[in-house]
Structure 1
Amino acid sequence: MSHRSPHRVDDVMTRTVVAVGLDALFKEIVTTIEQWQVTAVPVLEGEGRVVGVVSEADLLVKEELRGQDSTMIGQKQRLADYAKAGAVTARDLMSSPAVTVPVDATLPEAARLMAQHTLKRLPVVDEHGILKGIVSRADLLKVFLRTDEDLAGEVRQEVVQRLFPVSHRGIRVEVTEGRVSLTGDVRDATLIPVAERLARAVEGVVDVQCHLTGPEPTATAAP
């Protein structure tokens, strides 16, 4: 994992990915999901382009609608489900187009996509739509496993030294269990809220306590 924010999806994604082709059969997909202990698999065509995803929900439609008559009045709104219930290959079972995330997306961007589509995992693709990995909710939480020393180093280098090039030596940065404490005197008090905001933006930071102080702004005399 890189040591500077913002981290990208390819910093945390799983690169070993199980996927199936368009012609994969129902039982083959079920077996794959069971063996790899996943809840969904990307469906690929050609050189590895992601064209859809088959999830446990897609597969369970067959069991849910087993024995029901698709011509029954009141079932018209579920015609797509009945089609899936009769499907035997990934081509007809998959949800398409797939919701994917680019390899260079930031972690917040991936998290928003997951929330918007109520997904636990996203296929990660390059600019040509070729599968490069899978990112899960658990992967997005990996930034919170960064050590306190790693976080302190980034806050010190990317926030304190950049904002306060003259007075940075008098600023103490302490990190305990991901909680950052900033203490010291600065020459420009107007930059204090900026420092707190930037420290909070460092991925893996849980909280920030800002105790920086600076000179009171001088009042401008009225003309």
Structure 2
Amino acid sequence: MPKIKSIAREQVVSVAPDASLTDAAQLMDEENVGSLVIVEEDRPRGIVTDRDIAIEVVARDQDPASLTAADVMSEDVVTVDVESGIFDVLRTMEEASVRRIPAVDSDGDLAGIVTFDDFVILLGRELKLLGDVIEAEIPPYDHT
């Protein structure tokens, strides 16, 4: 079974828990990502998403400059081992109801991240390959 490390993004955009929420949002904008992994001593401690900022801060009329990433992060961060199989990771994401999941190495240090979008891209590529196989096996259509 393919391992999650085959599709995990190794370059994870992350911040420390004490990063200001304004800085975190600006980093998300600069890096064009919808989430940041909150890291302490190379270990994932939480995740802040653009939705967290919109709901927890903007919708509740809080001042983002007075908050830190730790104030709005999802603390019960679910992780997977970078050596986990793809289907195991999908099951974990479904059970935890998450769209993104950090991958950790054997020491528990952040090694990458996998998002729902990564699986959609993988599925699209696999379906194209299947379509190419099928198309190679059928006779060409006569377009008259």
TM-score by length of 1: 0.52
Tell me how far apart the structure 2 counterparts of residues 105 and 27 of structure 1 sit (CA, whole Å): 34
Shift in Å, 1:137: 2.1
3-state SS in 1 of match to 2:108: coil
Alignment of 1:44-59 (within 5 A): 44-46=39-41, 48-59=42-53
Q: 1:144 to 1:63 in 2, by over 3 A?
A: closer
**Hey, what does 1:13 align to over in structure 2?**
8
Q: 1:178 to 1:93 in 2, by over 3 A?
A: farther
**Hey, what does 1:184 align to over in structure 2?**
none
Q: 1:25 to 1:137 in 2, by over 3 A?
A: same
1:12·1:139 contact (CA, 8 Å) conserved in 2? Answer: yes
Q: Structure 1: 5+ residue runs without aligned partners?
A: 1-5, 68-84, 149-174, 180-223
3-state SS in 1 of match to 2:46: strand
Tell me how far apart the structure 2 counterparts of residues 36 and 178 of structure 1 sit (CA, whole Å): 37
Structure 1 residue 103 and structure 2 residue 82: aligned?
Answer: yes
3-state SS in 1 of match to 2:11: coil
2:34·2:49 contact (CA, 8 Å) conserved in 1? Answer: yes
1:73-116, Cα deviation, whole Å (9 max, x unpaired) = xxxxxxxxxxxx89611222211121111101111111122222
Structure 1 residue 134 and structure 2 residue 106: aligned?
Answer: no
Specify which structure has the bigger relative contact order, considering alpha-carbon pairs within 8 angstroms and separated by 6 or more residues.
Answer: 2
Tell me how far apart the structure 2 counterparts of residues 50 and 145 of structure 1 sit (CA, whole Å): 30
Tell me how far apart the structure 1 counterparts of residues 131 and 59 of structure 2 sit (CA, whole Å): 50
Shift in Å, 1:32: 1.2
Q: 1:91 to 1:115 in 2, by over 3 A?
A: same
Shift in Å, 1:120: 2.1
Tell me how far apart the structure 1 counterparts of residues 65 and 27 of structure 2 sit (CA, whole Å): 20
**Hey, what does 1:22 align to over in structure 2?**
17
Q: Structure 2: 5+ residue runs without aligned partners?
A: 135-144
**Hey, what does 1:112 align to over in structure 2?**
91
1:139-192, Cα deviation, whole Å (9 max, x unpaired) = 2242652585xxxxxxxxxxxxxxxxxxxxxxxxxx65355xxxxxxxxxxxxx
Bigger radius of gyration: 1
1:87·1:93 contact (CA, 8 Å) conserved in 2? Answer: no
Q: RMSD of aligned C-alpha atoms?
A: 2.5
1:36 aligned residue (31, 34, 45): 31
Q: 1:30 to 1:86 in 2, by over 3 A?
A: closer
Aligned residues, how many?
131
